[in-house]
Amino acid sequence: MSKYDASKIQVLKDIEAVRKRPAMYIGDTDKRGLHHLVFEVVDNSIDEAMAGFCDYIRITLHKDGSVSVLDNGRGIPVDIHPTEKRPAVEVVLTTLHAGGKFDHKVYKVAGGLHGVGISVVNALSEWLEVEVMRDGKVYYQRYERGEPKTELKVLNKKPEFKTGTLIRFLPDKEIFKRTIKFDPVIIQARARALAFLNKGIKLDVKIEGRKDKVITFKYDGGVVEFVEYLNEGRDPIHKIIYVKDERENVQLELAMQYTTTYIEDIYCYANNIHTEEGGTHLIGFKSALTKVINDFAKKMNLVKKNIQITGDDAREGLTCVLSVRVPNPQFEGQTKTKLGNSEVKGIVEGIVRQHLSKYFEENPRESERIIKWVINAARARIAAQKAREVERKKAKIEFGSLPGKLADCSNRGSPQSELYIVEGESAGGSAKQARDRRYQAILPLKGKILNVEKASPDKIFSNDEIKAIMAATGMGTGKLRYGKIILMTDADIDGSHIRTLLLTLFYRYGRDIIEKGKLFIAQPPLYKVKTKKEVYYVHSDEELKRLLKRLGDTKVEIQRYKGLGEMNADELFETTMNPKKRVIKKVTIEDAEEADRLFSILMGEKVEPRRKFIEENAQFAVNLDI
């Protein structure tokens, strides 16, 4: 056994520490961590905007796989640091906890809490280049895996702005082993949200290619325009309520509106960071909203004694954007998904109670509409609970028991277990014969399920097909019964519609299943192509063309599948259910705000937004049966 002494104690330099344990700084080294690099750089530019020194940011996805972020802020200082004896920009890019965010003389509030952002990006990049525009000059330095490779020098080029910073970097394949390819959808979603949260700021997302594409985000209406955007496909019951206030150096901005949907959509941000898991600001808002609704319901004599308005009732149909700016934010983890400042809860609660109470006093008609809507939500909740009780008693089963038509597998609960939700009884029968009973379960459906985007909760929770899906999957309980849930519908328009209805259900009532990466879509073949010697299964018209071109003059027999029911059990297993040969697509949410909006437009009550969307996007539709 080797001797354990002082010589065995390792001291890692900043860059070494980051490269040794990257997940400690960016959450993971997969897709999420990769994009976190971009957001760290963008957050620095946004901090300049919040400080009042920047009104333009450009994010460019370059053809070589690198990404750059340009802003017209003050530019990172380039003079020699008094203690480090190096240019300040080099100190910022190579030293953890170095930056201008630790006292509030430079930034009153900032998104970066830990001061490690840009140096971590540098450490995890194959190379990084910085250009600083100051004093009419462009200063340049290059780094490789966090280490300076050139001295800071002045380039012979005209600066794009009087002052500003350009950071361009290529993620390191040694760190991000699965992918270093950025997803434009994720980048655009972040840019859109930041433009909404910082009214008047212009953000361009440029995608280099054969024809460079530039998407511009600029919203002078700020969070009010954000709520209008989210509610495009919904019917509002009042004008948007807007609140802006500041207490104890905590700034709050809020826009909220009730619509005739049954969906609660609350997006909360702290210092422009999307706090997906909420935090103390969200707790304060929810508490204030429920209190004000209950107080005014009693004051206006609109609620009966036997009805108690809960927080869920008070938020049904509510679309809300809540943004706070906190001088010393405390986030849980470097990826900043939850705000932890205890003092923020009371501040937000106090501001929201004051302004909502004032709104309710000054707008009695709108207030009455809101309260009546909430009371109806409470009644529907009570009715849904009673309906579920009646159904359970009628069926003489205990809560949580599985639906009778479910053909379960023997290894339910294991990571390998799969639940196929299958369109149609006949296809369900074939799937039951085809499956591997050890780990594949089958739940057949009768046609199209209820559209949950339009239906009230009492109708949703009393619907037989939806109850079967919820019971079989564990939806809403936080405990999933299977490792994968796979939607298997026909490869035609009716099948696509059923799949969309199912996706709407999972998005609205089982989003955690999607977020955990457990929801998939089966890809049954469109064609069966037979030659004398071989059988091919083809999933698209494009694939069929390529196959026929490859086969040349070979005589072929082509069968177009109209539905799953046309396949026998062996064919169904080999083409769609065999893990070694099948194609399945994972359902992901890259842009939650846009997903909310599109579900409302495509599956909601309003016809005009849906017609507009179809007219604008029909050119991009593929694989439609005509």
Identify the CATH assignment for 418-525+567-620 out of 3.40.1160.10, 3.40.630.30, 3.40.718.10, 3.40.50.670. 3.40.50.670
What are 161-213's pLDDT values in tens digits?
999 999 999 999 999 998 899 999 899 999 999 999 999 999 999 999 878 89
Query: What are the DSSP E strand ranges found in 394-523?
Result: 418-423, 440-445, 484-488, 519-522
Active-site hit among 14, 490, 571, 593: 490
pLDDT at 607: 65
Q: What is the dihedral of CA 173, 176, 182, 186, to 10 degrees?
A: -170
pLDDT at 321: 97
Residue 265 a catalytic site member: no
Q: What are phi and psi of 440, to 5 degrees?
A: -115, 120
What are 538-578's pLDDT values in tens digits?
888 888 999 999 988 888 899 888 778 788 888 889 889 99
pTM: 0.76
Q: Count the neighbouring beta carbons within 10 Å of the beta carbon of residue 147.
A: 11
Report residue 5's pLDDT band, with 50, 70 and 90 as the boundaries. very low
Report residue 430's pLDDT band, with 50, 70 and 90 as the boundaries. confident
> Which stretch of DSSP H or E encloses residue 203?
strand 202-207
Active-site hit among 423, 453, 571, 591: 423
User: Three-state secondary structure along 34-64?
Assistant: HHHHHHHHHHHHHHHHHCCCCCEEEEEECCC
What's at 198, amino acid-wise?
A: N
Query: Per-domain residue ranges for the chain?
Result: 14-217, 222-384, 418-525+567-620, 527-560
Active-site hit among 144, 225, 276, 494: 494
CA distance 46 to 110: 8
Residue 494 a catalytic site member: yes
Residue 490 a catalytic site member: yes
pLDDT at 509: 87
Tokens 């707790």 locate to 283
Fold of the domain spanning 14-217: Heat Shock Protein 90 (3.30.565)
pLDDT at 362: 95
pLDDT at 392 over 70: no
pLDDT at 417: 93
For residue 242, which of 261, 222, 259 has the smallest C-alpha distance?
Answer: 222
Active-site hit among 228, 245, 492, 594: 492
Question: Helix, strand or coil for residue 201?
Answer: coil
Please list the residues that pair with 246 across neighbouring strands.
251
CA distance 69 to 46: 11
Q: Does domain 222-384 have CATH number 3.30.230.10?
A: yes
Across 39-53, 130-144, 489-503, which has the greatest mean pLDDT?
130-144
